[in-house]
Amino acid sequence: MRIKTVLTAGFGLMMMGAVPAMAMDAKIYPYHGKNFCPAGLQPVTISGVVCCGVPNQQISYKHALATPAPRKKVVRHTHYKPKQTSCRVGTKGCTYD
């Protein structure tokens, strides 16, 4: 067997086993609004979409988005380029940048 085929098959089997584990970690937030859901369910938010279900998080989706994240410090550098005055006026190929 070729090594590429073995690695591809191994990766595929690993991903098939990981998919159910990833689905169980979905964050379901409670939604505070009017309850038009069936008995035993309440409005919840999954990735910003409101539907009926049972939440597994304590805070709301809007509150989770409002959590402050560290800000990236932007440093702006200025580059100084002195004028070139070594060539005479009218010389071919001489520029004053």
Tell me if 39 is assigned to some domain: yes
State how many domains the chain has: 1
Cα–Cα distance for residue pair 57/37, rounded to 1 Å: 18
Instruction: Check: CB of residue 12 under 8 Å from CB of residue 5.
Output: no
Q: In which domain, by residue range, is 54 found?
A: 25-67
Residue type, 34: K
Global pTM reads 0.44
For residue 14, the model assigns a pLDDT of: 66
From first to last of its 97 residues, what are the pLDDT tens digits of the chain?
A: 577 665 566 656 666 655 555 556 788 989 988 889 999 999 998 877 889 999 998 888 888 888 677 888 888 888 777 665 567 767 777 666 5
Residue identified by tokens 């070729």 is 2
Instruction: Check: CB of residue 31 under 8 Å from CB of residue 60.
Output: yes
